[in-house]
Amino acid sequence: MAISAVTSLNVFLPSRPAGPATIEFDTETGKITAVREGVSSSSKDNLPHVLDLGSAFLIPGLVDCHVHLNEPGRTEWEGFATGTRAAASGGVTTLIDMPLNSIPPVTTVSGLEAKRAAAVGQLSVDVGFWGGVIPGNAGDIKPLIEAGVKGFKCFLIESGVEEFPCVDEDDLRKALAELEGTEIPLLFHAELDPPSSSSSPPTADSSDPTFYSTFLASRPDTFETSAIAMVIRLMKEFPSVPCHIVHLSSAEALPAIREAKKAGARLTVETCYHYLCIEAEAIPHRHTEFKCCPPIRSSANRELLWSALFDNTIDYIVSDHSPCVSQLKNLDTGDYSTAWGGISSLGLGCSLLWTEAEKRGFGMEEVVKWTSGRTGKMAKVEEVKGGLRVGGEADFAVFDPTASFTVTKDSLSFKNKLTPFEGITLQGRITATYLRGERIYSVEEGVLGGEPKGRML
C-alpha cells in the first residue's frame, strides 16, 4: 500500500492549535494513517509522495449540512452533478441533501430510493440525505431511519412546494414520539405566523413589492421567535429527542435559545453565510437574488449573530444553497413578494466566512470549527469526516488566506449562476480539494475530469 503525505505550516487538527504538521494517508484506502507534528526533511525523504504546502492552510474538508440539490424532479434548478462540483470547488467534501424540492420528496423510503438512484455516478463529493416530516407520514419515520437518513426536517410555515406541506403541533408530537430513543434529530424551519401577531410597522414604501423592506416587513422577527418558542416547549415534552433550528436569521430568538441550552435542552442551531455577510440596509430594490426565508435582517442583527457564534449559542454555519431557475426569481419585474426564496452560494462559503470573520478578530480555527468539526458531528460522520485524525478519511482542502478574487458567473460551478455575491471581492480562496487523499479540484484546472469520486453516505 503506497503511503503519501501532505505537509503544511498551518494544519488544523482536532483539539490542537494550528501549527506545522504532516498528514500521512494510505492511497488505496483513503484513510489517514499518521498525524505528525512538525515538518521534517526526514518525512519528505522517507515517503514516496509528499505534497509540501508551505504556509498555506491545510484544513479538513468542509461538511455542509444544508444543501438543496433538487434532483430528481427539479434538476433544472440544481442537480447532483453540478451541485457536487460546486461543493468541491469550495473545499466541501461532504454535504447533506435536504428532503424537499425534489419530486418525490424524501418523506418515504421510495422517495429516498429515487434520490439515491438519481445520484449514481454523478457525485464529485460524498452525499448524505435528510428525511422529511410532513402531515401523515409519522409511520414512515422509522423505515427511513433504517434506510439510512441522517435526521428529519419539517416546516412550521408553508415550504413553497406543494409536495412538502408544513406541520402542526399534533404532527410534531407524533413525529417526536417516533424519534424517542433513536438519537436521530428533528430539524425545524422555524418560522410561524401566529394568528395574533402583527408585522413590522408600515413604512412609506411598504406597499411596493419591489422594495426589499416590503418583503422584510412581511416576515418579521416574531415569525422566528414564535416558532422557536414552540419548539422549546415541545422539547420539554420530549427531552430525549435532539432538535435543531435551521438557518437562524433573527437575533431576537437568541435569549430564548440561550436559556433553553442553559437548562439542558438538546438544542443545536445553525446560521448561514448570507446572514453573516449581508445586511438588509444594503439590499437594492428589485434585486430578488437576495430573497430568502427567513429574510436577511439588519446590520445590528448581523453583529448579534456573530456574537452568538462566539459564545456558542449558534453552533455552526451552512450554505442553505437553495437555487432555482432564473424565471422564478422575477428578475424582469423585481417583485420580491412572489419570487422564489433561496440563495445560491455553494463553493463560496469558506471565502465568504474568512472575509467577514477576519474583520471581527476570528481566525481559521473558528472557521474550521463552524464548517467542519461541528457540522461533521451533526451529520453523524465525525469519526471519518470534519477533522484530520488517524483512521479518518483524508478529506482536506488547501486554503490560501492571502489570495483575493472577485465573484463572477464564470467562477461559479452551480447550475443557475444567480447569486447576491456576484461582483464582490473576497479574501482567501480554496486552491485545492482532496477526497480520500485524491485531488478532485484545483484552482488552476477546476473540478478534475474522469469518473466522479463521491459516495453516498
203-242 residue pLDDT tens = 445 689 999 999 999 999 999 999 999 999 999 999 999 9
- Render pLDDT for 409-444 as a digit per residue (tens, 0 to 9): 999 999 999 999 999 999 999 999 999 999 999 999
Residue 193 DSSP one-character state: -
| 74 and 23 housed in the same domain | no
| 73 and 42 housed in the same domain | no
Please indicate, yes or no, if residue 342 is contained in any of the structural domains.
yes
Q: Yes or no: say if 278 and 343 are a contact pair by the CB < 8 Å rule.
A: no
Q: What pLDDT score was predicted for residue 41?
A: 59
Residue 283 DSSP one-character state: P
Q: What pLDDT score was predicted for residue 44?
A: 57
Please indicate, yes or no, if residue 421 is contained in any of the structural domains.
no
Please indicate, yes or no, if residue 143 is contained in any of the structural domains.
yes
Please list, in sequence order, all residues whose beta carbon lies within 8 angstroms of the beta carbon of residue 263, skipping any fewer than 6 positions away: none
Tell me which residue range forms the domain holding 438.
3-58+393-403+426-447
| 181 and 303 housed in the same domain | yes
The CATH number of whichever domain residue 433 belongs to comes to 2.30.40.10
| 77 and 198 housed in the same domain | yes
- Render pLDDT for 147-193 as a digit per residue (tens, 0 to 9): 999 999 999 999 999 999 999 999 999 999 999 999 999 999 999 98
Domain total in the chain: 2
The mean pLDDT of 69-89, rounded to a whole number, is 98
The percent helix, strand, coil of the chain (3-state, each to 5) is 30, 25, 45
Please indicate, yes or no, if residue 291 is contained in any of the structural domains.
yes
Please indicate, yes or no, if residue 181 is contained in any of the structural domains.
yes
How far apart are alpha carbons 149 and 361 in whole angstroms? 37
The CATH number of whichever domain residue 73 belongs to comes to 3.20.20.140
Q: What pLDDT score was predicted for residue 50?
A: 87
| 371 and 354 housed in the same domain | yes
How far apart are alpha carbons 245 and 412 in whole angstroms? 28
Q: What is the pTM of this model?
A: 0.96
Please indicate, yes or no, if residue 452 is contained in any of the structural domains.
no
Q: What pLDDT score was predicted for residue 207?
A: 84
